[in-house]
Amino acid sequence: MFKGFYTAASGMYAQQRRTEMLTNNMSNANTPGYKADQAAMRAFPEMLLQRFDKERVPTENGLTLPFNKEVGRINTGVYLQEAIPKFIQGDLRETGRQSDVALLDITMPENGSVFFTVRHPDGGTGYTRNGNLTVDGQGFLTTGSGHYILDTAGNRIQLSSDRFTISEGGVLTGEKGERAVLGIGFANNPLRLKKEGDGLFRTEDNAPLPNAFEAAGVRFRMQQGFLEQSNVDVSKTMTDMMTAYRAFEANQKILQAYDRSMDKAANEIGRL
């Protein structure tokens, strides 16, 4: 009976975490370059239940032999193992702003993807698909979240104004002739990247990604005046949220049924 409590409770907790993940996706539906998370649900390992007993053998010495009898298997519940980002290209939206630039994957090996290279807040290297750029008070090119955009040499890009052009090949030209090539990293398996806040990703060992301009079989381009939208499917996310809520509610009713059974066992059967 108590095992049923744990199984139902684990289902409620898993659906709660899934709802939180879906809510985060929904809140970032309009965030440029945001990659929606997908839930990976997994069951806890099954347990084999056995009953240990003993049997008296009618012999002169009265032997007692122990034995065990298989009762059956029991599942101990489910949990949300991890949230996996979906790296499908988002739709492009024309903004007309010179400081906006979108990355377009053209040809990628298998499930690979490219990212803008930025300075991580801790001083390392981070990656993002958010091309909503701006120029800060000191003239450095940053993302909307304030992360410095890096060039192919890993240096910050300083400009005299926010009037600049970016070619399809990533060559940035400033109003007074400043030139730089935007640093673009290539991830052969983006699922191995760690997702952080503000649309940032990092490698597992914090090592820099390979230069996308030099990666074999990788073709991409940049589109100035456009932004890559979030790849969140709003209608599907709403449906998934309702499904998760109904699953949570079903586990809740199971828990209540177990509670009523235990109440009867303690207060009614116990009086006999």
Among 33-37, 41-45, 64-68, 107-111, top mean pLDDT goes to 33-37
Residue tagged 């649900």 (tokens): 41
Taking the alpha carbons at both ends of the chain, their separation in whole angstroms is 20
Residue 52 has pLDDT above 80, yes or no: no
What is the structure's pLDDT at 7? 81
Which pLDDT does position 257 carry in this prediction? 87
Instruction: Please determine, for residue 19, whether its predicted confidence score (pLDDT) is greater than 70.
Output: yes
Amino acid, res. 165:
T
What residue type is 61 in one-letter code?
A: N
pLDDT mean over 32-39: 93
What is this structure's pTM?
0.80
Q: Could you tell me which of 51, 94, 97 has the C-alpha nearest to residue 70?
A: 51
pLDDT value at position 121? 87
Q: What's at 158, amino acid-wise?
A: Q
Average pLDDT, the chain: 87
Is 90 exceeded by the pLDDT of residue 40?
no
pLDDT-based confidence at 91, cuts 50/70/90? very high
For residue 220, the cross-strand partners are 105
Residues 141 and 148: their CA atoms lie apart, in Å, by 6
**144 or 22, which is more confident:** 22
- Residue with the larger pLDDT of the pair 154 and 64: 154
Is pLDDT at 72 greater than 90 in this prediction? no
Q: CA 109, CA 178: separation in Å to the nearest integer?
A: 33
Task: Return the pLDDT at 61.
Answer: 62
**Dihedral angle over CA of 37, 93, 107, 236, nearest 10:** 30
Q: What is the average per-residue pLDDT within 210-228?
A: 93
Arithmetic mean of pLDDT, 204-228 = 92
Predicted confidence (pLDDT) per residue in 181-190, tens digit? 999 999 999 9
